[in-house]
Amino acid sequence: MKKIFLMLIMMGIFVIPMENGNNLVWAGETDVLIDILEKKGILTPQEAKEVLSEIQIEKDKKKAQVKEVESSEFKLPKWVENTKVKGDFRFRYQYQETDEHGVENRDRWRIRWRFGLETQVNENWKTGFRLSSGSGDPRSRNLTLTDTFDTSNVQLDLAYAQFDPNKHWSLTAGKFKNPLWKTKDLLWDSDINPEGIGVKFLNYKINKFELFVTPGFYVLEEFKSDTSDPWLGLIQAGAKTKLSDNLYLKFAGAFYSFQDLKGNSFEHSSETNSTDAGGNFKYDYDAFGADAELGIKLSGPVPFVGIFGQYVNSDASRNDLGYLVGFKFGYKKVKKFGQWQVKYNYRRLEQDAWPDFLPDSDFYDGQTDVKGNEIEFKFGLAKNVTIGLDYYKAEPIDRKPSIEEDLLQLDLVLKY
């Protein structure tokens, strides 16, 4: 009977499964039971010692088996766990009207798709890439719906390595997002992703000012038979300060040193800069630029109001100035349902104030020697889903005939 009783104890410890699937937990509490059986004379001290010894041996075996199973399970590499997926999709209706004689008004349905991955390789290094729709134009990722359901190309939009030794600076090389701080797109189309090297120095504080500096080296062209390849060296320096609990000011100045633009032509030029008889640029377009924004947080139905501006002055001998002034109100950023923002700006960009392959392509096809207005409205339909309306009214400054253009865009945007 005693042997049968001991057998039942061992079965209860090691055979009968517990509700959570782990009978080792129950087995670890059997010392008390064995002690009670010994005190009641059911087990002798020697037998109790032998039972506890057997229990310990079986527990060790079970632990070893569990550890072996866990170690044999498939585990993703650490870099895979540290990979983030980012992207967006935009569906657009666009209407374009011009008062040029003989030119018909145009409406288009267009899409833009972008999908990217970013991986933290280790504590200080990360790399990423992004694919996008588009035709190779650096100022547009749009695809017009046409040609009876024709298939479309996918472009390499980003490909970069980034080194972050600490929170104060980072270095990026490859094809990357433009690191310059910009209040609007007078100088840089938002779709342009420069190629080369960019550096950010930030989070430096002096009294109430947060300072940042952004130098960069951007490759513009490469010639097989010529070492005078056009490139851009730049540096932007700025600061942000809180003037009060609800009021802030952010500003920055930048110097752009273009090399070997003069005497060359470029594939994506809007063909509005001054050129020589051979169609090549007459200037290098070294320029000084500035951005500024003043914002105030409010309570009530309009939680934010801001005014902003941009300025540029190139080294051209004439028609060398550009500026943009505007204001916005509503929510500072539209990220979820019910949030909204209204934005307005007026801009003027003279013929040789800036290279004509860089400005916003939606404003008079990205040309220089233009002026006009832009009004934007954005509303949050859900988290990361917005609908927006963008209206441009632009015309040339000096060109004749002066042809006015109206452009209306209605966008549905989903981000992930």
* Two structure tokens written together for 252: 């920055």
Q: What is the DSSP letter of 299?
A: S
Q: What is the pLDDT of residue 44?
A: 81
Give pLDDT tens digits for 253-288: 999 999 999 999 999 999 999 999 999 999 999 999
Residue holding tokens 């938002």? 190
Residue 80 burial (CB count, 10 A): 9
Comparing C-alpha atoms, which of 217, 220, 215, 240 is closest to residue 230? 220
**How far, in Å, CA of 10 to CA of 3, rounded?**
11
Q: How confident is the model at residue 73 (pLDDT cuts 50, 70, 90)?
A: low
Cβ burial, residue 168 (10 Å; 0-12/13-18/19+): exposed
- Alpha carbon distances (Å) from 31 to 39, 61, 109, 264: 13, 18, 77, 89
pLDDT over 90 (residue 80)? no
Rounded to an integer, the average pLDDT of 74-88 is 85
* Helical (H) or strand (E) element with 289: strand 287-297
| Angular region, 279: left φ>0, alpha ψ -120 to 50, beta rest | left
Specify the range with the lowest mean pLDDT, choosing from 14-18, 125-129, 153-157, 380-384. 14-18
Q: Where are the domains of the chain?
A: 2-72, 80-415
Regarding the domain delimited by 80-415, which CATH topology (the fold level of the hierarchy) does it fall under? Porin (2.40.160)
Q: What is the DSSP string of 126-139?
A: EEEEEEE-SSS-TT
Rounded to an integer, the average pLDDT of 218-239 is 93
pLDDT over 90 (residue 74)? no
Comparing C-alpha atoms, which of 235, 238, 241, 236 is closest to residue 251? 238
Whole-model pTM: value is: 0.82
Q: What is the pLDDT of residue 365?
A: 96
Q: What is the pLDDT of residue 79?
A: 77
pLDDT over 80 (residue 229)? yes
Helix 45-72 and helix 2-14, axial crossing angle in degrees, nearest 10: 20
Q: What is the pLDDT of residue 69?
A: 67
Residue 404 burial (CB count, 10 A): 14
